[in-house]
């Protein structure tokens, strides 16, 4: 072991990042559980809603793949979203044999948005960073997401890989 102060500091900082990453992950999971519960849903249901809002209408198969759940589970997710008036089924415009799930924007708008508060708090935090710091944070998060996707896929060999997220920005 070296007594180089930079090496020791670096090791301490890396250990602190690991700990903070674990704490952040736990707090994020707890927030999502409580947010989902306010809508009468579970976390997977809310993740499906997030996919629909971000990526637009989806087939049940697409949701199943992106959520890494079974066909029975995705049917339950879709049914719960519909029961809460947050989504609806419609015929696929390209293949009438298929059904797509879309967000029920009126149903969603009729509810309090539990994500506004945390979104505003993060907007205030991000406003304190320089452009270069924001670029670094984006790079870090994009890379962390890819690592997490890869490690998630490794836990379920042979399963469809999780879909890629938002496009990378400059």
Decide which of 1.10.10.10, 3.40.50.2300, 1.20.1740.10, 1.10.540.10 is the CATH code for 5-128.
1.10.10.10
Write out pLDDT tens, residues 56-68. 999 999 999 999 9
Asked if pLDDT for residue 156 goes beyond 80, the answer is no
pLDDT digits (tens, 9 = 90+) for 22-55: 999 999 999 999 999 999 999 999 999 999 999 9
Higher pLDDT, 4 or 90: 90
Asked if 163 contacts 65 with a C-beta cutoff of 8 angstroms, the reply is yes
pLDDT at 91: 87
- For residue 89, the surrounding DSSP H or E stretch is strand 87-91
Residue 66: its pLDDT value, please? 92
The residues spanned by each domain of the chain are 5-128, 129-170
Q: How confident is the model at residue 9 (pLDDT cuts 50, 70, 90)?
A: very high
Query: Looking at residue 163, what is its pLDDT?
Result: 52
Q: If you average pLDDT over residues 89-97, what whole number do you get? A: 86
Tokens of 21: 């990453």
pLDDT value at position 168? 47
The confidence score (pLDDT) of residue 92 equals 84
Helix residue ranges per DSSP H, the chain: 5-38, 43-55, 60-67, 71-83, 105-109, 116-126, 131-155
Note the pLDDT tens digit of each residue in 99-154: 899 999 999 999 999 999 999 999 999 999 999 999 999 999 999 999 999 998 89
Question: Which residue has better confidence, 1 or 14?
Answer: 14
């790079």: which residue's tokens? 139
């Amino acid at each position: 072991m070296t007594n180089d102060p930079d090496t020791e500091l670096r090791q301490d900082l890396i250990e602190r990042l690991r700990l903070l990453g674990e704490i952040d992950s736990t707090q994020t999971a707890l927030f999502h559980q409580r947010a989902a519960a306010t809508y009468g849903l579970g976390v997977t249901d809310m993740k499906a809603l997030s996919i629909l809002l971000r990526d637009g209408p989806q087939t049940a198969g697409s949701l199943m793949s992106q959520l890494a759940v079974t066909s029975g589970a995705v049917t339950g997710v879709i049914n719960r979203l519909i029961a809460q008036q947050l989504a609806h089924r419609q015929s696929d415009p390209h293949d009438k044999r298929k059904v797509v799930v879309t967000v029920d924007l009126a149903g969603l708008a009729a509810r309090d948005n539990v994500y506004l508060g945390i979104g505003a708090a993060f907007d205030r935090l991000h406003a304190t960073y320089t452009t270069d710091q924001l670029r670094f944070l984006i790079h870090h998060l994009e890379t962390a997401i890819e690592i997490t996707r890869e490690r998630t896929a490794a836990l379920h060999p042979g399963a469809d890989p999780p879909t890629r997220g938002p496009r990378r920005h400059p």
